[in-house]
Chains A and B, each alone.
Chain A
């Protein structure tokens, strides 16, 4: 879905510059909130309908078929200052059928969840496959996948966010806004997104997989304006979107981790304290108005996990997607410098301190599911070992291209009406093995910048050259945080940057940051993914000053 569609739907065009799109609202029907608590279709009924699809597809000539019967529930609550702007609950139900006929993929979807509707979609998918097979050159080859029979999986949540009364959720956001206004903010927007994907997958391999996936994302943006100078600054939330229920919003002291002394930064692990964060945000956004503008040059960077997760996402997660590596995304998302020929050269991707793991398992992560959207059980595998590239992210129709006999289980579709394809699993930097706190790390830096929170981001289509901003920036001089900086962005090359990685803090500092809106594919689809890391140091990175004068 395009961002514009979402903004139009929620009526938030003005003042909502910061609210992203989330999949589901676009195709979903707006319903009363209680509807989100009604049970979905009985699992026996889903199995029967799935068989209708598979039989119709094979009868029409498919050599393989899978079907996803999906019910996607979303709720978004949007506020600004003292008012609720919108509360939208949506439900989207339908069936997507994917087939191989004449060695070619075909896909069709329908919201008619009847025997006739589903059979028609299956037949259309086969017809599309046959039409395309006339100009097809390489037949699709799937690595074998055994059927799992009848199985199920649920996100291990404590409290279903849809069961929390809307009034309680609105109260929390209004309290958040009140803290910002009381602290002197000029404006504040806050929002709470909740997602539940109820999806049933079946394939001609003999799998019938029922999954119930939950996600949540509380967020806000505080804005401070100095009318006299005309200057304005914003400070978004340091929350993460998570694979958790409403329990994420119950603060817990043991899930908080302080940034370095002198920084005022607090990081959050599996629980978030929105009232504490907005209080900090309000204080920091006012400091940003008068903070010193950075002197450009080389700095040692100390990057917090909320920030570093986005750099990992763009400079490691994306270049190691096998579809990009092979050229399937050339017209949109791009290709990759880390292609098969590059991998064969054994050039170090990063320093020995860089160990990066892909997984679809971490509790609380957005990637965690039992099975992917083509019925493969999920797992964990290494991408980079001690700085060396060892593997990519693959699905069933790609694995054979790199001589692998199984899929990595990272196939995903944003809804029943979109075709599934390879998407990024959680990609995480492993914490350092030696005991190292953030304060210890900062103590060793002579001239550096501590950056917390993810901000502006841009990277080229082969993932060489990138530029990242952040949320808050602090100067480090002779081992101490000496004050806030503004107008900071760093520009680097992926390989130089990861080879400048000096050390990561230990496991006690490890936490996840997540994104609801990873875009790839044409038509573009959103995927949700998390990235774990501990605070990490990179030496001698090029920092630019982003301030400009206009009119």
Chain B
């Protein structure tokens, strides 16, 4: 029963609301079916499947709120879930940040965020998909480790103030690391889509295999400031923290207003409206973009709309909770799902061609905050780092540790390439000057 239709879902939610005795009540249903398979050493290691629908009920008495959840849908369980939410609410302390539930909302026309092809995936499909990559590596005497994960489902919301929302979505992600048998070369590739039919595991494995073979016998070059070309997977990761996601994650209005953000201003207030980045930097979100289609409503029911976060280097908008928007008297904008960094038309290959001296970075890893004041992060290059000279990849280089801030990075912009989907965002490769590498690593 994991993917309920709009009428099935709203029928359950209507029934739930009819059981409520609270001042306000909101009910939401989420359901997903999906699975995963994992390989290493060119063979399957583990796999799994899941199928679940759950209901969350939030009940409110005045400024007291309680949430209860359940995953059975007979009348007795639903009634009990509502009662539990009401019990928890009665015992909860009053929230000084209480905001009444939202009434009916206008959502932008739902994009095609759901693919029947993804929803129809079975264990055989997953095994076949990863087998293609394993075969390729067997033939080339390379060792692959990969992960394929898919899910398809829906989310539906309804509350006592008349808000109603429903949308289906699906996603598939594949990543693969290919290593040479002697452990001296390693390459990586990853992609994610709503629609499984866009996924080509063989092509991705071939890219990783090529990088693994190319990265053997890496030369050590001195750490220091270098011009780098960052592939999209080096800027945004779907498995780890990343430099651009760190920047987008720091656009919170409250932290900025409270003085604990890189966007806080000396003496008070925030830096909205200030030019903090190179003028070619424009980042916006658009839930209707078909390449990264996602939910058009946020967790608290607010609509996701096309929003410009950074325009020509100027911070245009900050996201906020409903409470802080009201208190600070600022636009009420939820945190976006995916976002889009505007790019150019150059491919990665074009960018390499136009580089006299530089370093190509496939992927960054173990990225952790060092100083929230400056958004300084540290981490390392991984799985394919190459020296570029006179427009060509000259030789692989040993991996580096970096200490760098995305704010400094986006001021030292040399070129922007054509955006591709990465972790649900559209991310261009970037060419950056004076990127700070602070030490060498022997890791392959």
A residues whose Cβ falls under 8 Å from a Cβ of B: 8, 13-15, 17, 28-33, 83-85, 87-88, 90, 104-109, 111, 124, 127-128, 131-132, 134-138, 166, 170, 186-187, 223, 225, 227-232, 234, 326-332, 334-335, 337, 339, 417-419, 421, 456-465, 467, 469, 487, 489, 491, 493, 522-524, 542, 544, 546-551
Contacts and interface: CB of A to CB of B under 8 A. Distances in A.
A462 B260 contact: no
A295 B441 CA distance: 23
Given A330-B145, A331-B177, A546 B43 contact: no
Interface string B36-50: 111011111111111
B442 A337 contact: yes
B370 A469 contact: yes
A548 B408 contact: yes
B353 to A, nearest CB: 30
Given A107-B46, A124-B49, A491-B439, A331 B175 contact: yes
B45 A328 contact: yes
A132 B175 contact: no
B213 interface: no
B366 A460 contact: yes
26 contacts: A14-B320, A15-B254, A17-B372, A28-B69, A32-B68, A90-B69, A105-B45, A107-B47, A109-B48, A111-B71, A135-B44, A327-B40, A327-B179, A331-B147, A337-B443, A456-B368, A456-B370, A457-B368, A460-B366, A460-B380, A460-B443, A463-B443, A522-B239, A544-B403, A548-B371, A548-B376
Contacts of A417: 50
A423 to B, nearest CB: 14
B56 interface: yes
Contacts of A491: 401, 438-439
Contact of A460 (B84, B262, B264, B441): B441
Interface string B334-355: 0100000000000000000000
B266 A31 contact: no
A104 B87 CA distance: 47
A230 B264 contact: yes
A170 B93 contact: yes
A524 to B, nearest CB: 8
Contact of B260 (A28, A225, A328): A225
Given A327-B179, A522-B147, A550-B276, 14 more contacts: A13-B321, A14-B255, A30-B68, A30-B84, A135-B134, A227-B259, A329-B145, A337-B443, A418-B48, A461-B382, A462-B441, A522-B149, A522-B239, A523-B149
A108 B49 contact: yes
Interface stretch (B101-109, B111-119, B123-131, B426-434): B123-131
Nearest to B179: A330
Interface centre among A128, A187, A225, A491 (most CB of B within 10 A): A128
Contact of B87 (A29, A32, A547): A32
Contact of A331 (B95, B176, B271): B176
A544 B374 CA distance: 16
Nearest to B134: A135
Contacts of A124: 49
A8 B334 CA distance: 12
A493 B443 CA distance: 11
B366 A458 contact: yes
B267 interface: yes
A457 B188 CA distance: 23
A17 B255 CA distance: 10
Contact of B366 (A87, A109, A459): A459
Interface of B: 36-38, 40-50, 52, 54, 56, 67-71, 84, 87-88, 91-93, 95-97, 123-124, 127-128, 130-131, 134, 143, 145-147, 149, 175-177, 179, 183, 186, 188, 239, 252, 254-255, 258-260, 262, 264-268, 271, 274, 276, 299, 320-321, 324, 335, 365-376, 378-380, 382, 399, 401, 403, 405, 407-408, 438-444
Contact of A83 (B96, B265, B376, B440): B96
A331 B146 contact: yes
A457 B47 CA distance: 30
Interface centre among A88, A231, A456 (most CB of B within 10 A): A456
A77 to B, nearest CB: 11
Contacts of B183: 335, 339
A257 to B, nearest CB: 28
A131 B366 contact: no
Contacts of A87: 92
B252 A230 contact: no
B48 A108 contact: yes
A30 B54 CA distance: 11
Contacts of A456: 368-370, 378
B131 A227 contact: no
Contact of A421 (B46, B259, B375): B46
B255 A15 contact: yes
Contacts of B299: 8
Contacts, number: 251
Contacts of A421: 46
A105 B186 CA distance: 27
Contact of B145 (A17, A32, A331, A548): A331
A332 B188 CA distance: 10
Given A329-B40, A548-B374, A467 B49 contact: no
> Which 3 residue pairs across A and B have the least CB separation, nearest first?
A465-B441, A330-B145, A230-B266
Contacts of A107: 46-48
A461 B143 CA distance: 16
Nearest to A464: B442
A108 B34 CA distance: 12
B370 A546 contact: yes
A227 B443 contact: no
Contacts of A460: 365-366, 380, 382, 399, 401, 441, 443
Given A331-B145, A460-B441, A522 B44 contact: no
Contacts of B375: 550
Contacts of A523: 36, 48, 149
Contacts of B91: 32-33, 166
A330 B40 contact: yes
Contact of A132 (B37, B176, B271, B439): B37
A464 B179 CA distance: 18
Contacts of A109: 48, 50
Nearest to A223: B260
A59 B380 CA distance: 49
A83 B443 CA distance: 47
Contacts of B95: 83-84
B405 A548 contact: yes
A220 to B, nearest CB: 15
Contact of A462 (B127, B128, B443): B443
A32 B442 contact: no
Nearest to A129: B47
Nearest to B371: A546
Contacts of B49: 108, 124, 128
Given A128-B47, A132-B47, A462 B444 contact: yes
Contacts of A230: 259, 264-267
A419 B266 contact: no
B378 A229 contact: no
B440 to A, nearest CB: 7
Contacts of A419: 46, 48
Contacts of A17: 255, 372
Nearest to B365: A461
Nearest to A89: B88
A137 B371 contact: no
Interface centre among A111, A232, A465 (most CB of B within 10 A): A465
A169 B354 CA distance: 62
B401 A228 contact: no
A299 B388 CA distance: 36
Contacts of B382: 460-461
A524 B36 CA distance: 12
Given A108-B49, A523-B48, A547-B371, A131 B443 contact: no
A299 to B, nearest CB: 16
B76 to A, nearest CB: 15
